[in-house]
Amino acid sequence: MRRTLSVLVIAVLITFSGEVSAQKIIADTLTIETAIEKAIENNPEIQEKLKIIDALKAGVIQSGLLPNPEFSIEAENILGSNEFTGFKGSEITASVNQEVALTSRISKRKKVAELNVGLAEADLKIKRLEVISEIRKNFTDALALSELIEKNRELLNVSEEFVKNLELRVKAGKISPAEVSRARLILNSIEITISELETEYNTVLFNLISIINDPGLSANVILKGELDSAINFPSPDSVIAGLENNLLLQKLKEEQKKQSAIVEYEETKSIPPLNLGIGIRRINELSANTFLIQTSIPIPVFDRNQGAIQQSKIEVEQKRIEYEALKNILKQKLNMQLSKLKILLETVRKIKDESLPVARKAYEVIKKGNEVGRFTILDVLDAQRTLIELQNQYLNMNRQINKTVITIESFINRKIK
């Protein structure tokens, strides 16, 4: 009975540990979509910009409110002498005054406040795109480096087997120990390459985890995904036309709109508001009440807000010039990225269609020739290393292509394929 119970307990523990292990594997697996989602959710600058937007929206409400009316009480002819002793001859006036705009000042002011919200939302979009681009670039680097490490480890394992065979042949007196030394140099070179790749991978992974900013994310996270190897060169005209979607340019357009709205708002200030008042006056000496109506308006002789109007008009023109200047800079940068992409795609095509097939064929020929004694094991190692180096170059080129595409897409804020 005790033995049966023990078996059941062990089975339960094994099942439970298996479930925990499975959960851990799931928890430690990260896709690029999840990475982007977490990074946006946890980014403190994005959270700050969301709060700024909320505050500015409250400001829109405030900007649309009318000025409060003023209530005043005035007492005249009090606490004097003779017939004005005490309050006998006093006159007490109570009135309510209201400022009335003679222009659409409030609606113009509210429009400026609404455009401030739009600018804050544009800032938020720019920051989101920055985070997404950084995640995509680091994720691409990590995937490429992971594959490079795997390929080089495969080469190292095969090379170590070759060296072991060499050592056996040295012991049998069939080859010189110098060949083993040469083979060891090749092994050391591969080990150094793997070490450098692992260091770079750890740095990229650290950057990725830092951007995601999730305390629950393990440092040993497993990245799930593949590099896109089916990228075609896009139409340059279509890509350049996509600059209209650039978030920095769109923000400058919003700033132009805001400055134009400020011009309209400042122009409303050239006509001063009207002050209206109504009240009631108590004349104690006659025991009588009278009503009063009063109005006043500033005379715009000296200050017609002309300086502020002129300044805001100049700033509209300044934003227009800034927009054109930035558009030209972005166009140049985009053309450079397109030229870079074209060269990379052409290089990758040559490696894939010309260099790699030749290297594979040479490796197979030398490998088979080694089996019949036509080539040495060192010849096999050299041929294999050449093949792996070309594969490494191909992967690195694909890595650069993917990152260049990400950069281009960040310029035009859309996919290019």
Q: What is the pLDDT of residue 287?
A: 82
Structural domain contains residue 153: yes
pLDDT category, 184, cuts 50, 70, 90? Answer: confident
Query: What 3-state class would DSSP assign to 98?
Result: strand
How far is the C-alpha of 35 from the C-alpha of 27, rounded, in Å?
Answer: 12
Q: Which residues, in sequence order, are bridge partners of residue 92? A: 75, 282
- How many domains are there within the chain? 1
3-state SS string for 277-323: EEEEEEECCCCEEEEEEEEECCCCCCCCCHHHHHHHHHHHHHHHHHH
Residue 233, in any domain of the structure = yes
Q: Percent of the chain beyond pLDDT 70? A: 90
Average pLDDT value for residue range 356-384: 85
Give the long-range contacts of residues 350-359, CB within 8 A, separation 24 or more: 351/390, 351/393, 351/394, 351/397, 352/394, 355/390, 356/387, 356/390, 356/391, 356/394, 359/383, 359/386, 359/387, 359/390
Q: What domain range is 398 assigned to? A: 33-65+101-270+305-412
Structure letter (DSSP) for residue 162? H
Q: What confidence score (pLDDT) does residue 167 get?
A: 78
C-alpha to C-alpha distances, 202 to 66, 228, 265, 280, 319, nearest whole angstrom:
60, 22, 55, 82, 44
Question: Distances in Å between the alpha carbon of 53 and those of 60, 119, 189, 294?
Answer: 11, 9, 55, 42
- For residue 60, being part of any structural domain is answered with yes
pLDDT number for residue 26: 45
Domain annotation covers residue 244: yes
Residue 167: closest CA among 389, 377, 383, 392: 377
Which range, of 133-137, 188-192, 308-312, averages the lowest pLDDT? 188-192
* Contact by Cβ (8 Å): 223, 34: no
pLDDT score for 38: 95
Q: What is the pLDDT of residue 76?
A: 84
Q: In what order do the strands lie in the sheet with 91-100?
A: 70-76, 91-100, 274-283, 288-296
Higher-pLDDT residue of 16, 385? 385
| 311, part of any domain | yes
d(CA 123, CA 126): 5
Across all residues in the chain, what is the average pLDDT?
87
pLDDT at 202 over 70: yes
Position 15 scores a pLDDT of: 43
Other CB atoms within a 10 A radius of the CB of residue 409 amount to 19
Average pLDDT, stretch 370-378?
Answer: 76
Query: Which one of 110-114, 298-302, 365-369 scores highest in mean pLDDT?
Result: 110-114
Residue 209 phi/psi, 5-degree rounding, is -65, -35
Residue 38 in any domain: the answer is: yes
**Where residue 102 falls among pLDDT bands split at 50, 70, 90?**
confident
Per the model's pLDDT, the better-predicted residue between 265 and 371 turns out to be 265
Output the six-digit token pair for 27.
């928890």
The pLDDT score that the predictor gives to residue 170 is 74
Least confident of 75-79, 83-87, 155-159, 161-165: 83-87
Of residues 168 and 74, more confidently modeled: 74
* Residue 276 in domain: no
Q: Tell me if 120 is assigned to some domain.
A: yes
| H/E element, 240 | helix 236-241
Q: Please give the Cα distance from 41 to 120 (Å, whole number).
A: 18
Supply the pLDDT for residue 7.
36
205 burial (CB, 10 Å; 0-12 / 13-18 / 19+) is buried
- With a CB cutoff of 8 Å and minimum separation 6, the contacts of 222 are 25, 28, 29, 30
User: Strand runs (DSSP E) across 111-255, as ranges?
Assistant: 222-224
Kindly indicate the confidence band of residue 86, based on its pLDDT and cuts at 50, 70 and 90: low
CATH of the domain at 333: 1.20.1600.10
